């Protein structure tokens, strides 16, 4: 059984816009997948279905064997505890330093303080910020802030890391540094990575599996794929 599976998924918003139309795909444990497409293609909707930010109008969405499309709202938090999610805008807490921002993600688990410290320091070291433990978000560069958000996302060793345009606010060099961090998480931890992106250079350099979404449908699904000259 695949770790993530979408079966005949449709998504129509209340304003009548059909974001996804009969989408079916599977993603195996340990894969690294780029989801690409023009603005309005449906790729962000697809990503949001995985962590139940959105629900499909029709069809099934399985994550780790759980049909999240039918998950009761009060149980969504259990799904998200098994996922790591990285956003374009970091979503850090401004009055907490690096250590506190990452440790905060573990507070809900009722762990001993020693275990929280161990996991937090490990995650921060994995993203290369062990010398910034006491720094606050406004003292960090955009790339460093994104590293903190990645550390927060992986601190509980999730099976899946979902990234929604994680380099959208970063310059090309910093974007590649962030991608090296995410790639190492995939390779060293075996974490499945699914990333929505517009960044052609990143997709072309990393040569991972590429799923192209166009007008709400899967237009292309290729291993070691890339952006093509005609757009995507």
Query: Within this chain, do residues 129 and 19 fall inside the same structural domain, yes or no?
Result: no
In a domain, 178, yes or no: yes
Query: Which candidate, 171, 176, 216, 231, places its Cα nearest to that of 44?
Result: 216
From 153, 180, 202, give the residue that closes a domain. 153
Residue 217: per-residue pLDDT: 96
Mean residue pLDDT of the chain comes to 93
Whether the per-residue pLDDT at 224 is higher than 80: the answer is no
From 100, 123, 153, give the residue that closes a domain. 153
Whether the per-residue pLDDT at 92 is higher than 50: the answer is yes
Residue 230: per-residue pLDDT: 42
For the chain, what percent of residues have pLDDT higher than 90? 84
Whether the per-residue pLDDT at 25 is higher than 50: the answer is yes
In a domain, 115, yes or no: yes
CATH code of the domain containing 169: 3.40.50.300
Query: Within this chain, do residues 128 and 172 fall inside the same structural domain, yes or no?
Result: no
Which residue range forms the structural domain that includes residue 197? 1-82+158-226
Q: How many domains does the chain have?
A: 2
pLDDT band at 1 (very low <50, low <70, confident <90, very high): low
Query: Within this chain, do residues 166 and 69 fall inside the same structural domain, yes or no?
Result: yes
Structural contact between residues 5 and 167, judged by C-beta atoms closer than 8 angstroms: no
Query: Within this chain, do residues 78 and 179 fall inside the same structural domain, yes or no?
Result: yes
Residue 78: per-residue pLDDT: 86
Query: Within this chain, do residues 109 and 183 fall inside the same structural domain, yes or no?
Result: no
DSSP the chain: --SEEEEEEEEE-TTS-EEEEEEEEEE-TT-EEEEE--TTSSHHHHHHHHTTSS--SEEEEEETTEEGGG--GGGHHHHHHTEEEE-TT----TTS-HHHHHHGGGGGGT--HHHHHHHHHHHHHHTT-GGGTT--GGGS-HHHHHHHHHHHHHTT--SEEEEESTTTTS-HHHHHHHHHHHHHHHHHH--EEEEE---HHHHHHH--EEEEEETTEEEEEETT----TT--
Residue 66: per-residue pLDDT: 92
In a domain, 231, yes or no: no
pLDDT band at 110 (very low <50, low <70, confident <90, very high): confident
Query: Within this chain, do residues 72 and 5 fall inside the same structural domain, yes or no?
Result: yes
In a domain, 232, yes or no: no
Query: Within this chain, do residues 2 and 73 fall inside the same structural domain, yes or no?
Result: yes
Question: Which residues, including other chains, have CB under 8 Å from residue 55's CB and lie 6 or more apart?
Answer: 49, 69
Whether the per-residue pLDDT at 109 is higher than 90: the answer is no
Average pLDDT over residues 177-186: 96
pLDDT digits over 136-162, tens only? Answer: 999 999 999 999 999 999 999 999 999
């Amino acid at each position: 059984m695949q770790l993530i599976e979408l079966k005949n998924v449709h998504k129509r918003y209340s304003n009548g816009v059909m974001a996804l139309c009969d989408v079916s795909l599977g993603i195996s444990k340990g894969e690294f997948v780029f989801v690409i497409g023009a603005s309005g293609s449906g790729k962000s909707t697809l990503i949001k279905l995985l962590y139940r930010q959105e629900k499909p109008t029709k069809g099934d969405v399985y994550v780790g064997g759980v049909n999240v499309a039918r998950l009761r709202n009060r149980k969504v938090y259990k799904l998200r505890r098994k996922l790591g999610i990285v956003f374009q805008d970091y979503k850090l807490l401004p009055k907490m330093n690096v250590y506190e921002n990452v440790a905060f993600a573990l507070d809900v688990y009722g762990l001993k303080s020693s275990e929280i410290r161990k996991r937090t320091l490990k995650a921060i070291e994995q993203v290369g910020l062990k010398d910034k433990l006491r720094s606050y978000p406004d003292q960090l560069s955009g790339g460093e802030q994104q590293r903190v958000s990645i550390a927060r996302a992986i601190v509980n060793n999730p099976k899946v890391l979902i990234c929604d345009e994680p380099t959208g606010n970063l310059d090309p060099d910093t974007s590649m540094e962030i991608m090296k961090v995410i790639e190492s998480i995939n390779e060293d931890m075996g974490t499945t990575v699914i990333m929505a992106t517009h960044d052609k250079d990143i997709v072309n350099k990393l040569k991972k599996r590429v799923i192209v979404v166009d007008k709400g449908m899967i237009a292309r699904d290729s291993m070691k794929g890339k952006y093509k000259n005609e757009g995507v």
